Amino acid sequence: MKVLVSSCLLGEDVRYDGRNSSIAMGSSFTFSQKEIFMDILCENQIYSFCPEVSGGLSTPRLPAEIVSTTKPFKVETNDETDVTIPFLIGAKNALDICNEEGIKVALLKSKSPSCGNTHIYDGTFSNTLIEGQGLTARLLEENGIRVFNETQLEDLKQFIESN
Ligand code: SF4
């Protein structure tokens, strides 16, 4: 199966702080989680994608949060620079790749203003999480693409096996 995966989860240094969120190498993941992840990598066709880099943002970059979670969305950095457009371009580029390649499922990094699928930071830069989705995760799900995050690897595995 074809799976779109956040580049940072694959170990690419594309995060805002110039680092990555590697599942395979990360100390916060159990051996079992790493095993499932490696199985998914080995048994599927993986498309590495970072919406924020694709949208034209540099790495490293200032951290950003969604300050308006309903349309019209607004994303700002912590110095109040409006970065909504690059975030929207990245989301659109992700959807375009999924449509062009027939990708029906994605593994995206949790809590990100682009990739988060269940929770995001609340726009106050106070480390406060709220229920909500990043702009890419939202657009993919609105278009019928299932999105999982790195804490939902077992669910992703089951989804792949049943589709
Ligand atoms: S936009 Fe997504 S893929 Fe890119 S660094 Fe952030 S969480 Fe990772």
Q: Output the ligand 1 site: residues, CB below 6 A.
A: 6-8, 14-15, 50-52, 109, 112, 114-115
Give me the residues paired with residue 5 across strands: 48, 107
**What's the token pair of residue 160?**
């792949």
Q: pLDDT digit string (tens) for 84-132? A: 999 999 999 999 999 999 999 999 999 999 999 999 999 999 999 999 9
Tell me the CA–centroid distance for residue 119 and ligand 1, in Å: 14
Rounded mean pLDDT of the chain?
98
Q: pLDDT digit string (tens) for 38-90? A: 999 999 999 999 999 999 999 999 999 999 999 999 999 999 999 999 999 99
Calpha distance 44→56 (Å, rounded): 28
On the question of a cis peptide bond just before residue 86, with omega within 30 degrees of 0, the verdict is: no
Determine contact, residues 75/64, Cβ cutoff 8 Å. Answer: yes
Calpha distance 61→94 (Å, rounded): 20
At 109 the pLDDT is: 98
In the chain, the number of structural domains is 1
Residue of 114, 118, 140 to test ligand 1 pocket, by largest number of atoms within 8 Å of CB:
114
At 112 the pLDDT is: 98
**What's the token pair of residue 15?**
């995060």
Q: pLDDT digit string (tens) for 130-147? A: 999 999 999 999 999 999
Cβ neighbors of 108 (< 8 A, separation 6 or more) are 4, 5, 6, 9, 114, 115, 116, 117, 134, 136, 137, 140, 147, 148, 149
At 162 the pLDDT is: 97
**What's the token pair of residue 154?**
């077992």
At 121 the pLDDT is: 98
- Is residue 7 packed enough to be buried (19+ CB in 10 Å), middle (13-18) or exposed (0-12)? buried
Calpha distance 126→44 (Å, rounded): 38
Domain encompassing residue 69: 2-161
Tell me the CA–centroid distance for residue 126 and ligand 1, in Å: 20
At 14 the pLDDT is: 98
